[in-house]
Structure 1
Amino acid sequence: MNDADVSKQIQQMVRFIRQEAEEKSNEISVSAEEEFNIEKLQLVEAEKKKIRQEYEKKEKQVEIRKKIEYSMQLNASRIKVLQAQDDVVNAMKESASKYLLNVNRDHHVYKKLLKDLIVQSLIRLKEPAVLLRCRKEDVHLVESVLDSTKEEYASKANVHPPEIFIDNVHLPPAPSHHNAHGPFCSGGVVLASRDGKIVCENTLDARLDVAFRKKLPEIRKWLFGQAAA
């Protein structure tokens, strides 16, 4: 083999090696491009996932805040409704309380009422001697029915007529513009055993309170319907 053949063969080998190198380089470049694209896609997807999670988190927070706000507004509305209902009920009770003031204007009716209240109190106490307290302006009416009251109680309870002592300390007077915020009594009596251990409060105001408490569910149902009862 002469030099020309050797040179030719070497050139062929160089071309072959160069071609292989270029092909390998292309393969590496393509592989690198693919890996880059895959990694880029993974990074993009990871970032998308992160953004989605952040969005979902914020969306949940917004929903929670909406629910809290709605609940607060609902509770506030319920409180306002309940307050409005209480205002109506209290106004109704106040109206009834004012009506009690008309009871003692008719002395004949009020005198009989005082007698009935005293008899009822005596039946509850069942004491042979009691202390009676009333308003100062009612003392003369109480004194006028005392004897007949004792006899009626004695007949109903089948006992001897009790001793009734009228206390020199009186119940507060009827409410007025001059005493709008002080203690008051619309009428009636308070009876107690002589030792003060047993007390029967039979004033018109006390009876109104008792009646109102008992009838309150019916009153609320009548005013506001089944749901408010």
Structure 2
Amino acid sequence: MSQIHAMSDDQVTTELRKMTAFIRQEALEKAREIHFKADEEFSIEKSKLVRQETQRIDTEFTKKFKQAGMSQQITKSTLANKVRLRVLGAKQELLDGLFEDAQKGLTEKGSKDQSKYEAMCKGLILEGLYALNEKKVTLKCRKKDDGVVKKAAESASKEYKDKMGGRDVEIAIDEKDRLPEGSAGGVIVLNGTGKIDINNTLDERLNLLSTDALPSVRTTLFGENKNRKFKD
């Protein structure tokens, strides 16, 4: 205290200024340090947030991209299936039309030429006789075919006897149970008990043909076989 009282007013003022300047300098340096740390922490936090947001955006983009890809695949697959079904439908419609025309032509013209129809019935009856190999059989036919079928049966019976070493076969026509008049013709050959039959009608032959010949018909019309798969 004696030194302070010994100092002049100018000296006291000078000392106070020095102390004030020192305190101010310390405050400025501390402020700069705090500001530097704040900037550094801000930069770190900003970088962290940027990385997180970037990762989030990348993840979201990847998710959206996959979803878009899946949606595109589904759309493509759906369109391809629609086209495939339309093509298959058109092909089936054409095939159905062909067999319908064949059915119509067979019904209208199959028995028109009596001599050819009689020969065909003979062959159908013989096939039934050989398959059944019985002494007595019954034939079902259209009522209007009675005359032709009787002649065919007589001829078939003789040939059967010759081929089978003199074995006779009795052939009768069922006059109660007939084939529909609107059918294409042909015969059904039944054994003696009527429990076994050989369906040799022209309608059945056409049905079998529509199944057996379908692969070759497809190949002829569409250049494909039954094992070929539709390609997108």
Instruction: Map Cα deviations across residues 106-131 of structure 1 (whole Å, 9 max, x no partner).
Output: 11111111111111111111111112
Which residue number corresponds to residue 223 of structure 2? 225
The answer as to whether partners of 1:192 and 1:198 remain within 8 angstroms in 2 is yes
Which of these two proteins has the greater Rg computed from alpha carbons? 2
Aligned position for 1:30? 36
Distance 2:225 2:33 in 1: 81
| TM-score, length basis structure 1 | 0.87
Within the candidate set 179, 191, 204, 2:189 is matched to 191
What is the match of residue 74 of structure 1? 80
**Distance in 2 between the 1:143 and 1:46 partners?**
96
Q: Which residue is 1:55 aligned to?
A: 61
Tell me how far apart the structure 1 counterparts of residues 85 and 179 of structure 2 sit (CA, whole Å): 37
User: Per-residue CA shift, 1:170-213, capped at 9, x if unaligned?
Assistant: 01112xxxxxxxxxx20100011122332100011111122222
Q: Which amino acid aligns with 2:104?
A: K
Distance 2:30 2:166 in 1: 129
Q: Quote the sequence identity (%).
A: 37
CA distance in 1, matches of 2:149, 2:129: 14
CA RMSD after TM alignment: 2.0
Secondary structure of the corresponding residue to residue 75 of structure 1: helix
Q: Counterparts in 2 of 1:1-229, with a 5 A limit?
A: 1=3, 2-4=6-8, 8-9=14-15, 11-101=17-107, 102-167=109-174, 168-174=176-182, 185-226=183-224
How many residue pairs get aligned? The number is: 219
Structure 1 residue runs without a partner (length 5+)? 175-184
Partner residue in 2 for 1:181: none
Pair 1:227–1:189, CA change in 2 (3 A): closer
Deviations 1:34-84 (A, max 9, x none): 322332333233223323322331222122111101101101111111111
Residue type at the aligned position of 1:196:
G
Q: Distance in 2 between matches of 1:220 and 1:66?
A: 33
Q: Which runs of 5+ in 2 are unaligned?
A: none
